[in-house]
Amino acid sequence: MHGILLVDKPRGWTSHDVVNWVRKRLRTRWVGHGGTLDPAAEGLLLIAVGIATRLIQYAIDADKSYVAHIVLGASTTTDDLEGEPSQVSPASQPPSLAQLHTALERFRGSFEQRPPSYSAVKIGGTPAYRRAREQIPTELRPRTVFVHDLQCLHYDYPDVIVSIDCSKGFYVRSLARDLGALLGTGGYLHGLVRTRIGTLTLSEAWSIPELERCLSPETWSLLAQHPDMLVSTLPVLLIPEQQMTAWYHGAPVRSSETALPETLARAYAPDGTWVGVARYDAVQACWRPVLVHHERH
């Protein structure tokens, strides 16, 4: 079994809960996920099985889309609904819609964002959330993130609903915290739905009740998407028939197709079968296997 399963993760489940559930249903341990969703968050979770687990980084690195419910007028220790209230700032004059739009403009494009104290970012090998639980003072370094699009879908103080298209590493909880700070009201993330990972969308995902009824090793090929969906944005490399033996042995192959140095491509056999990922070696004018997959595996 190889492929990716798009799951609509329910609130209350951890991403690893879904991985373990799929492992038991499919009776295989070769399962992973492509990007953590907090237990309180919902939406698209990518589950990789078999050879697809070796492509997970492409999902982790891909841009994401979310719909978020932010509550102004209060802050929490975790910057979301799960934490304890740390500040309540009822506004005598709630921010106007114009003020909200002006504040949101600060979070578009490239900027430095500080991850939440309760996050999986490691400090000296220890996740930040463990240090936070032990009340060890921790100041996480800001990291550069990029927001392609940020739109206000609804505003009725204290509730703000926004849609976000962003780069990897972006924390929506940090957005809620920083938006509240900028408006002088405090803010925390009340609800979150992930709607897209790269080219894959929530509309394609299966709910847990649906999978409860039909997911098994026998139905896997009917429910899963092909592993090459994870590298669908890479250019295509067609490997000549006479080069296939070399490819399967992990040796460099030559093709009439050339590219810029270090270009990655998804590789296919002459019959259209996906056989892995290659990197172009411009010095030797050849394609070197990065990942080799044989359908018989």
Name 282's Cβ contacts closer than 8 Å, sequence gap at least 6.
Answer: 258, 259, 260, 261, 262
**Tokens describing residue 49:** 């099985």
Q: Look up 80 and say whether it is catalytic.
A: no
With beta carbons less than 8 A apart as the criterion, state whether 167 and 73 touch: no
d(CA 29, CA 228): 21
Q: How far apart are CA 251 and CA 88, in angstroms?
A: 63
DSSP for 126-158, please give it.
Answer: EEHHHHHHTT----PPPEEEEEEEEEEEEEETT
Q: Which of 8, 38, 79, 80 is an active site residue? A: 38
Contact 189, 72 (CB under 8 A): no
Would you say 195 and 224 are in contact if contact means Cβ atoms under 8 Å apart?
Answer: no
Which residues are known to be catalytic?
38
